[in-house]
Amino acid sequence: MAQPRILVAVALASVGLAACGGTSSTGGTANKPDKVQIAAEGPFTGDQASIGAGALQAIKLAVKDFNSAGGVNGTQVQLLVWDDQHNAQTAQTLQAVGIADPTVLGIVGPMNSGVVLGSVQGLQAATPPLPLVSESASNVAVTDSGNSVAHRVNARDDAQGPADGKFMIDQGAKKVYVMDAKSDYSTGLADQTQKYLSDHSIAFQRDSVKAGTKDFSTVITKIKAFNADWVYFADEGPEAAPFVSQLKQQGLTVGQNIQFLGTDGEEDASIITTSQGAYDGAYATNITADPAGVSGTAAANYVAAFKAAYGADAVSKAGPFYGSAYEAAQVLLQAIKASPVNNGKISRSDVLSHLGSDTFSTIFGSIKFNAKGDVQTGGIYVYKATGNAMVVVKQVSG
């Protein structure tokens, strides 16, 4: 079960604040490392750039803030950008470069569960292993597979799925058409939601559509035949606009005679515009908080800094993970800074050790990983398409 994070009410001076829990800000040494690199990995171009581009902006800002605060004992952190385009094979090629370079101390990302699951074995087998802190990979196997390199700041599918199912039931759902997009992320989450519905005696029908689908006529015919009152679509966003547009064309209007609940990526306000308003009234959940909707000075200061760096409208375009990406970068950078420097070098083994043991200060409050690499606290947030915006209407847990 995911529980709300404890939010700090004081501003963080910068991302460079040291991890709490008895670790000094210099890792017990004033030595200056010769070179420190981290990688940002995700789908920064391609069909999922809508979730990756804002995350990359956040990571760049986190590194800039960290370096402005002094970096690692005076050494500026260099950021590598690995655009895996939501492809595990591409990820493996990119990661091989980092594995071979001992000054690459960690990865913020990968963002997609399937990419993590398709590449984590190589990161684990590296000497020393190359740690990752994902801002969005939610499949339970990411941290349940026993890989010590894997960490994530977001909630898991087995928290989001039950929370999504409960939300629909609480809203009066009787017959739910459950859909996935045939990815590790979407099928895993749909499985969890379906199980919750089944356990609570809610009628459902399961279906899958391939990512990139444009014609949903066959699916809509089945939705009508099933007489669904809710559609649940575990997806990452690209298919939502054409789907709800075609629902409306076929006489099923979201918010009126059919209800819609999407997932991470489907709380993107651009879907409302792209669907010419057909998405208005739809719900979507996210496995991380939106800093703009979180109380506390640290989150507010971050939102202001993000807008100052990227434009007044940057937050509305940033996608669902611009908060968790900054948070994940904060965690990795603090673990690096807490690690000892020997002969001008920091070992990835020490970074992994600190990731596993320290408590970290973030824009969402203090967090700590459990033995698997999951945050010990987390939340699921429900958004509703209202006018031209996606508005947080509820925080739920499964």
Query: Can you give the pTM of this predicted structure?
Result: 0.82
For the domain made up of 157-286+381-396, the CATH class stated in words is: alpha beta
Question: Does 36-155+290-363 match 157-286+381-396 in CATH topology?
Answer: yes
Q: Is the pLDDT of residue 217 over 60?
A: yes
The predicted structure's pLDDT at residue 267: 85
Q: What is the mean pLDDT of residues 2-11?
A: 33
Domain ranges of the chain: 36-155+290-363, 157-286+381-396
Residue 287 neighbours by CB under 8 Å, 6+ apart: 136, 138, 154, 155, 156, 159, 160, 264, 324, 378, 380
Of 6-15, 85-94, 242-251, which range is least confident?
Answer: 6-15
Look at residues 41, 204, 259 and name the one whose alpha carbon lies nearest to residue 137. Answer: 41
Which one has a higher pLDDT value, 270 or 303? 303
Count of CB atoms situated within 10 Å of the CB of 221: 11
Q: Selecting from 3.40.1350.10, 3.20.20.80, 3.40.50.720, 3.40.50.2300, what CATH number does the domain 36-155+290-363 have?
A: 3.40.50.2300
The fraction of the chain above a pLDDT of 70, given in percent, is 91
Which one has a higher pLDDT value, 72 or 389? 72
